[in-house]
Structure 1
Amino acid sequence: MSAETDMIKLYSGRILALAADMPRTARLVNPTATAKKRSPLCGSTVTVDIVVKDGVITEYGQDVKACALGQAAAAVVGGNIIGLKRDQVQSGRDQLVAMLKNDGAVPDAPFSDLEVLQPAKDYKNRHASILLAFDATLAALEDSTASA
């Protein structure tokens, strides 16, 4: 398979559709916590605002400046994050890492749509961007518990 064919496969219509229709792109006015994460390799950034009540994410906003792969991952995270607790977010991230780096299974629901990113496992330089939404969310959750 040629490199051009590989890139076409990597940036599938489904990935581009997720990137184009990202939910929760408005920043929150009064978040419980905010975190920004940046991929040093490509410069992608994700800033996440959350409101947490009783350990559960009740509001979520994100500002995503990333490649289509990072945007697609942020779209899946943003579309499924409300109602989750820290351990569920961590589990989703861990499963995504296993899928990308260790040929692991697709993440469980509510993050099973991350399956679309399976072709990215062969592009290690894209992994950090794909993980940014999870990393920023987990950092914000950490800040929210530290300040509680």
Structure 2
Amino acid sequence: MSDETDLIKLYSGRILALAADIPHLGRLDAPHATVTRRSPLCGSSVTVDVRMDDGKLADLGQDVKACALGQAAAAITAGAAVGADLNTIEKGRDQLKAMLKDGDAIPDAPFDGFEVLSPAASYKNRHASILLSIEALAEAMSTAHQKA
């Protein structure tokens, strides 16, 4: 199978559907923390605003300027994150990294939706964009926790 055919398969209908319907799009008024992450390789960027309540993510806003894979990852992250604590987000982030970089298992629930991005493991130049949203979210939640 050619590299071009593999790349076309990577951008599946499911990934494109996720990219077209990202939850929690837009910025929050008066967030507890804001973090912007950028991938120098491709130029994708994500800004995440968070509001916390009792150690859990109460509200999330995000501005996503990324490729379809980064957008799909942002959709999966946002769809699973509200109500989670920092440990859950960090575990999801670490499991996603391991899935992409080491071929490890799909992340546990609530981040098992990242399964759709498992074909991207073969495309190391796409990893940074895929990780942007969950990395920014973990950093923003950590910052908000430190301020509290």
Shorter-chain TM-score bucket reads: over 0.9
Q: Which moved more, 1:135-144 or 1:41-50?
A: 135-144
CA–CA distance in structure 2, aligned partners of residues 25 and 57 of structure 1: 15
TM-score by structure 1 length?
A: 0.98
Aligned partners of 2:146, 2:103: CA distance in 1, in Å?
A: 34
Look up the SS of the partner of 1:31 in the other structure.
coil
Q: How many residues align?
A: 148
Q: Give the structure 1 partner of residue 57 of structure 2.
A: 57
Q: Give the secondary-structure state (helix, strand or coil) at the position aligned to 1:109.
A: coil
Give distance in 2, aligned partners of 1:103 and 1:97. Answer: 9
SS at the partner of 1:143?
helix
CA deviations on 1:77-132 (whole Å, 9 max, x unpaired) are 01111100000000001111111111111111111110000110000011010000
Secondary structure of residue in 2 paired with 1:47: strand
Q: Partner of 2:98 in structure 1?
A: 98
The percent of aligned pairs where both chains have the same amino acid is 59
1:37 maps onto 2:24 in alignment:
no
Distance in 2 of aligned mates of 1:100 and 1:3: 18
What's the RMSD between the two structures over aligned residues?
Answer: 0.7
Alpha-carbon distance between aligned partners in 1 of 2:26 and 2:101, rounded to the nearest angstrom = 31
User: 1:146, CA displacement in angstroms?
Assistant: 2.2
Q: Matched residues in 2 for 1:132 and 1:10: separation?
A: 18
Matched, 1:137 2:137: yes
The separation in 1 between residues aligned to 2:113 and 2:81, in whole angstroms, is 13
1:5 is matched with which residue? Answer: 5
**1:145 positional shift:** 1.9
Provide structure 2 residue ranges, at least 5 long, that are not aligned to the other structure: none
Structure 1 residue runs of 4 or more that deviate by more than 6 Å after TM superposition: none
* 1:76 maps onto 2:71 in alignment: no
The amino acid that maps onto 1:140 is: A
Q: Which amino acid aligns with 1:8?
A: I
Structure 1: runs of 5 or more not aligned: none
Structure-2 separation of matches of 1:147 and 1:101: 32
Shift of 1:147: 1.5
Cross-structure match for 1:112:
112
- What is the match of residue 22 of structure 1? 22
Q: What's the counterpart of residue 125 of structure 2?
A: 125
